[in-house]
A = this chain, B = another copy of it.
Amino acid sequence: MSTIIYCSECLKEYSFIEMPLTCECGGILSIKRNANLDAGKFLNREIWSMFRYKNFLPLDCLGDAWKGITLGEGMTPVVDYGSDFGNLKIKMDYMMPTLSFKDRGASILVAAAKKLGIKEIVQDSSGNAGIAVAAYAARAGIKCSIFVPAGNSKKKIQQIYVHGADVYEIEGTREDTAKAALNKVLEEKLYYASHVYNPFFYEGTKTYVFELFEQLKGNMPDYLWVPVGNGTLLLGCYYGLLDLKSAGLISKFPKMIAVQSHNCAPVHDAFYAGEDVVKPCVNKGTLAEGIAIADPKRGKLILQALRELDGEVLTADEKAICAAAKKLAGDGFYFETTTAATFAAYFSNPDFQDKISVLPACGAGIKSSII
């Protein structure tokens, strides 16, 4: 089937080559799911990357563009934590080309840009997505500008520079950074390779649950934990689970446990207030910079996913994030602070420790260390 993009609000449809930044109604765009998935075509074992599941990605528009872009992303291992946490499994999703899970989305997003013949892209990021897009753009020979909040980890900014991208460090909030990027896109009529607006990113993060399904031999965990800021992993997991179920590969969903920083928790607040949309909050500052999103543009979809997956939203405070990062490193696991926030919520909520949990290690510790 051909790839169809549609508006999450008014349902208007667009083709691949006519996809705008947002719908003319202002709504955010998504990619239409493939309604006729064939369980027998789920997996191509010959491919040693997340593209082994390409038959389950509605990306016919891309053809073989991914072959010239891939850096070997995906197929990250699942490890038992052991010691006092016998039900805790970690998906080591930083064992990736640019050392974070964002490579899942960036590889597909940049392949789409390449297929369209785009020469220059713009993106904004708290760090990891910017690194991923910069690396894949370099691989694709596409000029790249990345906007980051001033004051973000220098190590992350350095990783963007090395790939030859132009880096713009923007004072103010994370939202100010996004506005500055959007201004450049609109003024210069450039392609916005945003992991928030561009729906191709979420097709890549789907593969996280496809891998889990293969690795756990069809047995999904009881609890599927995800950090949530803009929801790139959460929504990818949601779409992937819908696909697995509609193909008949799973019969029920795992319960989703989303984690936010206590100091920036707009999804948490909206979810328990019974809202349908996420209202912007004030980011009080957090070490978990990867999820410090005060105004998530796909908030409505995030809330919908959480409700359909019987979700909960937990928060982690700064002290617990530090303590978790130290405990993890002492046990052999060196993860970045945003990942430590997810573990902080796990360690301090014994109610969820009696059944099987999978937590994602989204970024390598060396990228943004506090210890």
Question: Hey, which bits of chain A sit against chain B, CB under 8 A?
Answer: 46, 48-49, 67-68, 70-73, 75-80, 82, 92, 95-99, 135-140, 155, 158-159, 162-164, 215, 217, 329-334, 364-367, 369, 371
- Known contacts A95-B97, A162-B365; is-contact A72 B82 (Cβ 8 Å): no
Q: How many copies does the complex hold?
A: 2
Query: A121 to nearest B CB, angstroms?
Result: 14
User: Could you say which of A72, A159, A369 has the most chain B C-beta atoms within 10 Å of its C-beta?
Assistant: A72
In the bound complex, what is the Cα–Cα distance between A217 and B47 (angstroms)? 11
Pull 9 A–B residue pairs with CB atoms less than 8 Å apart, ordered by A: A48-B77, A68-B82, A72-B95, A99-B99, A135-B334, A137-B332, A139-B332, A163-B334, A366-B366
Query: A130 to nearest B CB, angstroms?
Result: 13
- Whether B95 and A364, one on each chain, are in contact in the complex, defined by CB atoms closer than 8 angstroms, is no
- Whether A164 and B97, one on each chain, are in contact in the complex, defined by CB atoms closer than 8 angstroms, is no
Question: Which residues on B sit within 8 Å (CB–CB) of A158?
Answer: 366, 369
- Whether A48 and B215, one on each chain, are in contact in the complex, defined by CB atoms closer than 8 angstroms, is yes
Query: A83 to nearest B CB, angstroms?
Result: 8
Question: Which residues on B sit within 8 Å (CB–CB) of A135?
Answer: 332, 334
Q: Which residue of B lies closest to A370 (CB)?
A: B162
In the bound complex, what is the Cα–Cα distance between A71 and B82 (angstroms)? 11
Question: A71 touches which one: B48, B79, B96 (CB < 8 A)?
Answer: B79
Question: Which residues on B sit within 8 Å (CB–CB) of A367?
Answer: 366
Question: Which residues on B sit within 8 Å (CB–CB) of A92?
Answer: 71-72, 97
Question: Which residues on B sit within 8 Å (CB–CB) of A163?
Answer: 329-330, 332, 334
Question: Which residues on B sit within 8 Å (CB–CB) of A331?
Answer: 138-139
- Known contacts A95-B96, A334-B98, A367-B366; is-contact A77 B68 (Cβ 8 Å): no
Q: Which residue of B lies closest to A103 (CB)?
A: B95
User: Could you say which of A75, A95, A330 has the most chain B C-beta atoms within 10 Å of its C-beta?
Assistant: A95
- Whether A159 and B332, one on each chain, are in contact in the complex, defined by CB atoms closer than 8 angstroms, is no
- Whether A330 and B77, one on each chain, are in contact in the complex, defined by CB atoms closer than 8 angstroms, is no
- Known contacts A48-B77, A72-B78, A75-B77; is-contact A334 B162 (Cβ 8 Å): yes
- Whether A366 and B72, one on each chain, are in contact in the complex, defined by CB atoms closer than 8 angstroms, is no
Question: A76 touches which one: B72, B98, B366 (CB < 8 A)?
Answer: B72
Query: A159 to nearest B CB, angstroms?
Result: 6
In the bound complex, what is the Cα–Cα distance between A164 and B371 (angstroms)? 10
In the bound complex, what is the Cα–Cα distance between A159 and B137 (angstroms)? 29
In the bound complex, what is the Cα–Cα distance between A26 and B341 (angstroms)? 51
Question: Which residues on B sit within 8 Å (CB–CB) of A369?
Answer: 158, 162
Q: Which residue of B lies closest to A72 (CB)?
A: B77
Q: Which residue of B lies closest to A77 (CB)?
A: B72
Query: A87 to nearest B CB, angstroms?
Result: 16
Q: Which residue of B lies closest to A98 (CB)?
A: B334
- Known contacts A366-B99, A369-B158; is-contact A138 B329 (Cβ 8 Å): yes
Query: A326 to nearest B CB, angstroms?
Result: 8
Q: Which residue of B lies closest to A211 (CB)?
A: B48
In the bound complex, what is the Cα–Cα distance between A331 and B163 (angstroms)? 7
